[in-house]
């Protein structure tokens, strides 16, 4: 995790009247938003009712054509979404020095700080975040919320539980669109038989403060997620964008009660490239701040070998990606970032 003790503290970004040079990005025409006249393209980002009789086909098509979709009637209580958003707002409204008490260590994942992708970019991102990856967050909560510790830990645990159930449901249904099941993923099948979890989940609370020059700033730079899938709850302020081929950057406007699901690198590998790992980013706003809560799910133990599901590849192939351990893939991504999938791609799959 990069250091957050800088000349410009990320905890005070919302109070700045000018955009510091370290946060000023050189954006090209290709980085711009879609014009308002492209509303038809925006609407084509699928919104899927999970109670639809054709949900398996709808999810499969969305994964193949977009790598991202929105879901309604997902079963997550609105009160829980409101509670986790309120928790996030309460934390980010704290003075910078209080937030720093929850700062993540150099080796740890949990805690307060800049986006983990920050080292790959010359300029800084106009955002701050709190990552909740394991039980260590309890100590941080006890420090910053001594009175409300039990209340906020309860919200996090309930959110983690509900999101994991939803993620498992989505995984099973999406795999069904490919004609396979969770049991066809070797490491997932072993985890299921042993009664252990097939993947870990990480919650990332993100805050994008108001920005004096949003057209020259970047809330979160373009990237893909490494995991199986990410479930995102947005506040009522838009900013999330996904990249869709010739359409360019498409804004995913927030809809009350609707969640966004991104396909990650691991699912792309398992599907043998059938599902794109969606490139996404977050832009910022001049008048209103934005909060999003991302639940990143699905990553086996580090020594587990990952590769395309054999039933999808078939007896004659081609298999697009060579087998690597999960820890090796994460190491490759840490070294080459957006070239990680390319680094493990089989050069001549027909052979």
Phi-psi region of 195 (alpha: psi -120 to 50; beta: other; left: phi over 0): left
In the numeric block, the tokens 């003075």 are attached to 95
Q: Write the burial class of residue 40 (CB in 10 Å: 0-12 exposed, 13-18 middle, 19+ buried).
A: exposed
Active site residue 290: yes
C-alpha to C-alpha distance for 161 and 151, rounded to whole angstroms: 16
For 196-209, give one letter per residue: b (16+ CB within 10 A) or e.
eebbebbbbbbbbb
C-alpha to C-alpha distance for 258 and 255, rounded to whole angstroms: 5
C-alpha to C-alpha distance for 98 and 103, rounded to whole angstroms: 10
C-alpha to C-alpha distance for 203 and 233, rounded to whole angstroms: 11
Q: Write the burial class of residue 107 (CB in 10 Å: 0-12 exposed, 13-18 middle, 19+ buried).
A: exposed
- The answer to whether 192 touches 233, Cβ cutoff 8 Å, is no
Q: Is 263 helix (H, G, I), strand (E, B) or coil?
A: strand
- The answer to whether 24 touches 122, Cβ cutoff 8 Å, is no
Residue from 283, 290, 322, 345 carrying the catalytic annotation = 290
**CB proximity list for 37: less than 8 A, separation 6 or greater:** none
Long-range CB pairs of 247-254, under 8 A, 24+ apart, other chains included: 247/34, 247/38, 247/41, 248/30, 248/32, 248/34, 249/31, 249/32, 249/33, 249/34, 249/281, 250/34, 250/41, 250/42, 250/45, 251/33, 251/34, 251/42, 252/45, 252/68, 252/70, 253/42
φ, ψ at 73 (rounded to 5°): 50, 50
Catalytic residues: 290
């Amino acid at each position: 995790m990069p250091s957050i003790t800088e000349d410009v503290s990320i905890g005070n970004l919302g109070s700045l009247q000018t955009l510091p040079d370290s946060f000023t990005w050189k954006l090209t025409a290709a980085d711009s938003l879609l014009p308002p006249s492209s509303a038809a393209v925006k609407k084509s980002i699928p919104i899927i009712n999970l109670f639809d009789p054709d949900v398996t086909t709808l999810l499969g098509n969305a994964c193949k054509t977009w790598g991202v979709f929105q879901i309604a009637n997902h079963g997550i209580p609105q009160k829980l979404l409101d509670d986790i958003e309120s928790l996030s707002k309460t934390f980010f409204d704290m003075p910078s020095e209080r937030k720093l008490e929850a700062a993540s260590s150099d080796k740890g994942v949990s805690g307060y700080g800049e986006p983990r992708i920050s080292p790959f970019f010359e300029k800084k991102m106009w955002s701050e975040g709190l990552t909740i990856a394991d039980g260590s967050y309890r100590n941080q909560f006890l420090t910053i919320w001594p009175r409300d510790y039990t209340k906020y830990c309860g919200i996090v645990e309930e959110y983690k539980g509900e999101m994991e159930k939803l993620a498992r449901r989505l995984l099973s249904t999406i795999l069904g669109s490919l004609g396979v099941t969770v049991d066809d993923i070797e490491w997932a099948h072993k985890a299921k038989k042993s009664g252990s979890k097939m993947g870990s989940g990480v919650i990332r609370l993100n805050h994008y403060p108001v920005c004096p020059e949003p057209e020259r700033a970047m809330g979160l730079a373009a990237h893909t997620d490494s995991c199986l899938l990410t479930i995102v709850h947005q506040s009522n302020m838009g900013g999330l964008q996904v990249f869709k081929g010739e359409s360019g950057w498409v804004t995913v406007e927030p809809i009350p009660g609707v969640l966004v699901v991104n396909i990650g690198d691991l699912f792309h590998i398992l599907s043998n490239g059938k599902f794109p790992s969606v490139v996404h980013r977050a832009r910022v706003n001049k008048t209103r701040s934005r909060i999003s809560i991302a639940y990143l799910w699905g990553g086996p133990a580090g020594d587990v070998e990952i590769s395309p599901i054999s039933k999808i590849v078939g007896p004659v192939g081609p298999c697009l990606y060579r087998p690597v351990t999960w820890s090796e893939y994460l190491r490759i991504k840490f070294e080459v970032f957006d070239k990680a999938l390319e680094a493990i791609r089989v050069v001549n799959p027909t052979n």
